[in-house]
Structure 1
């Protein structure tokens, strides 16, 4: 799940920390595609937007140009 912040260049991505590393990476890439595509402003049904993102592919080299950091948040 990704969420837009007040700062237009800042987004939060939340993923399950118990996922295997490769699955975490795929989830992050999926959410980054939503951000890159600016999906927050589409008027399409959410299922259509998800289908469009699943059909697109982001290369690992493209991830190198994205400046982001991560940390773990424990939820009780």
Structure 2
């Protein structure tokens, strides 16, 4: 897992899906299959996985950079 700022904003599955314009089930599939090097959740809040907003944004920037090559 990459380093993150200790006060990095955490996002729920729905917030990640909204940010990426995806259905929340797609986020689950990508996370379980590790497809596209999708970031792992950094913690759980009860039964809900939480992602670092900074890691999601970094992943998205890398995906865009790869597409532009």
TM-score w.r.t. length of structure 2: 0.30
Return the index of the structure with the highest Cα Rg: 1
The one of the two structures with greater contact order (alpha-carbon pairs below 8 A, sep at least 6) is 2
Tell me which protein shows more helix as a share of its residues.
2
Tell me which protein shows more strand as a share of its residues.
2
